[in-house]
Each structure stands twice: as structure tokens, then as C-alpha cells.
Amino acid sequence: MQVDTAQQLAEILLAETREEIRRADAKAMRCLQAVGSGGLAVFVLLPDPGGHDWRFWSGATGWALALLCLGGAIAPRLYGGGPVETVTFFGHVARLGRPARVRQCIEAAADDGLSRVVAQLCAGSRIAMAKYQLIRIAVLLTISAAIFIVVSLA
């Protein structure tokens, strides 16, 4: 793919980053459904969960932490980097408030399109990485939780 300017490359990277965020959200949602359903099934089907040892409760704690991580991965990110005058995402517009002020800041930001795209690219990349880190942690917690629960039942 031929890229003529830094602006074009930044826009391509931003589109790819946004797609990666969508994929991470979809993965986190599928994992949340699977982990939640599996954990719920264990607690519903087990007789007398109060009579289990520390391994069972360690697994239950890991399961709960995995759910929290997956919830964190799909939670919307409502913060943005940089001053609100850069107008790089909807939160900046909301904080600016008055339409006249929003218009003024958008006109100023339009003069330097590359900086705006780069700011969005940096923020989006941080979001994608955070989502994947939370998913990875949740998967490891789920595996360890399953091991602890299975061993406690043996």
C-alpha cells in the first residue's frame, strides 16, 4: 500500500486501531459470557458450597476476579488525553459545553489535522492494549480458577 503523507499513514493506523478495539470488545464479551455461565453453573450444580476447602474458595475468588477484569475490558473509556481544546474525542466536546466554544476549538484543531489524528491514535492504542491485558489476565485467572475448583472436588 502506497502512503503519500504522514497524515494518510496516521489515518490508516487510527482505523486499524479502532478495528482492534472493536475486536477486543467482542473477545471480552464472549469471554465474559463463557466465564460467567461456567462459574454460575459450578455454583448452582454443586451441593453445599459452604463445605469446600481453601482450594475451592481460591478458585471462586479467581473466577470473580476474572469477571471483574472482563468487565473492565468492555467498560467504555470516558477519558481522553490532552487538553480539551484539542478536541480529539467526544468527551472533549462534552466538557467544552457551549456550541460556540466547541466550534472555536474545532476550527483551531482543524488547522493541525495530523496532531489530532496522532493524539487519537495514541489514546486508541493505549485503550486497545489495556483491553487485551485485561483479557489476558482474565483468561489466566479463569484457568487457575478451574484448576483449583476441579482439584478441590477430587
Q: What is the pLDDT of residues 20-69, one digit of tens each?
A: 999 999 999 999 999 999 888 887 777 666 677 888 889 989 999 999 99
Count of domains forming the chain: 1
Domain extent, residue 48, equals 6-153
Task: Give a yes or no: residue 1 inside a domain.
Answer: no
For residue 106, being part of any structural domain is answered with: yes
Q: What is the mean pLDDT of residues 80-107?
A: 81
Report the C-alpha gap between 74 and 72 in whole angstroms. Answer: 6
Instruction: Please give the Cα distance from 45 to 116 (Å, whole number).
Output: 53
Q: For position 76, what pLDDT does the model report?
A: 82
Q: How confident is the model at residue 96 (pLDDT cuts 50, 70, 90)?
A: confident
Amino acid at 89: F
- Per-residue model confidence as pLDDT tens digits over 122-144: 888 999 999 999 999 999 999 99
Are 35 and 138 in contact by the 8 Å Cβ rule? The answer is yes
